[in-house]
Amino acid sequence: MLQLETESLSHRMSETTNTAVMVIGGAEDKVHGRLILSTFFSRAGGTDARIAIVPSASREPSVIGERYTTIFEEMGAKAIEVLDVRDRDHAEDEDWLQFVDDCTGVFLTGGDQLRLCGLLVDTPLMERIRQRAQLGEITLAGTSAGAAVMGHHMIAGGGSGESPNRSLVDLTAGLNIIPDIIVDQHFHNRNRMARLMSAIASYPDRLGIGIDEDTCALFEANNTFQALGKGTITVIDAKDVSHTNQPDAGTSDPLSIHNLRVHILCHGDRYDYDRRLILSQRSHDGEHSRMRD
Amino acid sequence: MLQLETESLSHRMSETTNTAVMVIGGAEDKVHGRLILSTFFSRAGGTDARIAIVPSASREPSVIGERYTTIFEEMGAKAIEVLDVRDRDHAEDEDWLQFVDDCTGVFLTGGDQLRLCGLLVDTPLMERIRQRAQLGEITLAGTSAGAAVMGHHMIAGGGSGESPNRSLVDLTAGLNIIPDIIVDQHFHNRNRMARLMSAIASYPDRLGIGIDEDTCALFEANNTFQALGKGTITVIDAKDVSHTNQPDAGTSDPLSIHNLRVHILCHGDRYDYDRRLILSQRSHDGEHSRMRD
């Protein structure tokens, strides 16, 4: 079923669609260049954009909702609605469902990813957002907690400053927008390599994607994403792993993982997460070139 | 010349020698199991051990020298001498040179690796220690700063919490015991993945070895090391790297590095750093098995 959803995302999004799923590592520039937020605005239709802001991850939803409203107003969005879901019943609100049916972009703010999932998972509102995003009908962006929820598996929390080990990461169900990936955010900023590696050791068929602050993995049609922004995206690919030890879940015994493939991607790099290969990247002098895998 | 030194380490150390070069990630257990320090003691000859302690990395050399003296006395070393080099002239002291000629083990303490190198590099004392270690005549151990100095290139310092970039790491000359490696210590504990990756991006022919606290890479004959202790050793192998961008040194432009091979090794894993492959590991149930690369 997850596979079907993946295929629907890849096959049913038209080659020419301008929509995307934007997975943002948190702390995106909101003041100066606003590269990532401007890209979301543009991919959502620019001055024709009808944008739904979902601030439900935050414990101050009205404050953060207002903040993003101001930004997209300044950019010139045609319509903006804050879907301030504070109770699962709110996620059945007919006016909000109507807005989602007509919107061109949805933005999930930061906060607590467990709170966001608890309020939205399997609700009519979230199901419509997920389906429209997977069909390529809208551009869906999530930052920080809003990024963490994108996979079928979600990192709910965990530790840092320890050797990779099973107890370092708490995994639960995400919102399943892009089932095949496990996302971590504020990545190098908050020392999260060990916890993402620990997550991938438990689910080696998934692709680990660690996104730095003010950086975005922009997912488009055909199972590709490109790196956008000031930092890096760390791709952890366990496809070639030849050995992983299997201490009991929850123990802090250190992990042993052999033959991980790791890519550090920066602005302009593009990756095919279905075929697990890098398609091209912009070199420091701005040239493009096709790379061998 | 570095190559010759590498060969001398690998070819001239006899298969049967019990000596080793022990690269310790810092904060090794000094109180309870003392696994790493006991291994050093044993590899240095046990109750026949004549141990030189070099505390010169520390700003409190007498305190730290005393601490390790007590530990090795408790273990029953035959002779212990603290080579408290505080001035490069001290590194020509005839009594100390004589002790080094007759010793079976040398222990480099933690502190500041720049201070350690500044006091010892190219001195008669350090040259004898290096030559005897590379000939397999003694067991040489270094912890924290004492581990950082082991390669030809040394990480003198750097930042953390940023995306991998050239300005994140300060590289200088180490003591060149094992030329081919670039060591980082307190590795996952202090969020150093990005800086070691940045170092390897600058010197992709070197092997990055990130060692966690209370963990040791124990280098033996034939260019192999085994992981020992409570944490993990992260091996960063750029052999298959297909692309690295080259922003100017010192800039904070994020790096792009494609197709790094990364291994997380835990206690019992063994790695051939000449052929760049994992030889075997102890699985969680204690079995040994030969792994494919």
Average pLDDT over residues B87-116: 98
pTM for the whole structure? 0.90
Determine whether the interchain pair A188/B162 forms a contact, defined as Cβ–Cβ distance below 8 Å. yes
- Any domain includes B199: yes
With residue B201 as reference, give the H or E element that holds it.
helix B193-202
- Any domain includes B4: no
Determine whether the interchain pair A232/B189 forms a contact, defined as Cβ–Cβ distance below 8 Å. no
pLDDT recorded at residue B281: 53
Q: What is the DSSP letter of B76?
A: T
Q: Choosing from B10, B58, B144, B198, which is the catalytic residue?
A: B144
- CA B42 from centre of chain: 18
Q: Evaluate if residue B283 carries a pLDDT over 80.
A: no
pLDDT in tens, B14-37: 444 599 999 999 999 999 889 999
Q: How far is B148 from chain A (nearest CA, A)?
A: 19
Determine whether the interchain pair B260/A262 forms a contact, defined as Cβ–Cβ distance below 8 Å. yes
Q: Collect all residues with Cβ–Cβ distance below 8 Å to B174 and sequence separation of at least 6.
A: B113, B117, B148, B149, B150, B151, B152, B153, B154
- Best mutation target among A191, A248, A261, A264 (most B Cβ atoms within 10 Å) is A264
pLDDT recorded at residue B249: 67
Q: Are A101 and A50 in contact (CB under 8 A)?
A: no
- Any domain includes A109: yes
pLDDT in tens, A74-102: 999 999 999 999 999 999 999 999 999 99
Tokens representing B287 are 């079995």
* Mean of all residue pLDDT scores within chain B: 90
Cα gap A160→A184, rounded to integer Å: 12
Give residue B285's pLDDT band: very low, low, confident or very high (50, 70, 90). very low
- Any domain includes A235: yes
CB count in 10 Å sphere of residue B32: 6
Of A247, A256, A265, the CB nearest to B281: A256
- Any domain includes A280: no
pLDDT recorded at residue A151: 98
- Best mutation target among B200, B213, B232 (most A Cβ atoms within 10 Å) is B232
Q: Choosing from B162, B202, B263, B267, which is the catalytic residue?
A: B162
Q: Are B151 and B182 in contact (CB under 8 A)?
A: yes
Cα gap A276→A239, rounded to integer Å: 8
Average pLDDT over residues B124-137: 98
- Any domain includes A122: yes
Tokens representing B132 are 């005897």
- Chain B residues inside the 8 Å CB shell of A261: 259-262
- Chain A residues inside the 8 Å CB shell of B188: 161-164, 191, 193-194
Cα gap B114→B174, rounded to integer Å: 9
- Any domain includes B281: no
pLDDT recorded at residue A154: 98
Q: Collect all residues with Cβ–Cβ distance below 8 Å to B122 and sequence separation of at least 6.
A: none
ipTM surpassing 0.95: no
Q: How many domains does chain B have?
A: 1
Q: Which domain holds residue A37?
A: 14-271
pLDDT in tens, B229-263: 999 999 999 999 999 997 766 678 999 999 999 99
- Residue A45 sits in a domain whose CATH number is 3.40.50.880
Average pLDDT over residues B102-114: 98
With residue A100 as reference, give the H or E element that holds it.
helix A94-102
Of B255, B262, B283, the CB nearest to A266: B255
* Mean pLDDT split into 10-residue runs, chain A, 293 residues: 44 60 98 96 98 98 98 98 97 98 98 98 98 97 98 95 92 97 96 95 97 98 94 97 82 92 97 92 40 36
* End-to-end CA, chain A: 29
Q: Are A40 and A107 in contact (CB under 8 A)?
A: yes
3-state secondary structure chain B: CHHHHHHHHHHHCCCCCCCCEEEECCCCCCCCCCHHHHHHHHHCCHHHCEEEEECCCCCCHHHHHHHHHHHHHHHCCCEEEECCCCCHHHHHCHHHHHHHHHCCEEEECCCCHHHHHHHHCCCHHHHHHHHHHHCCCCEEEEECHHHHCCCCEEEEEECCCCCCEHHHEEEEECCCCCCCEEEEECCHHHCCHHHHHHHHHHCCCCEEEEECCCEEEEEECCCEEEEEECCCEEEEECCCCCEECCCCCCCCCECCEEEEEEEEECCCCEEECCCCEEEEEECCCCCEEECCC
- Any domain includes B277: no
Of B246, B255, B264, the CB nearest to A232: B255
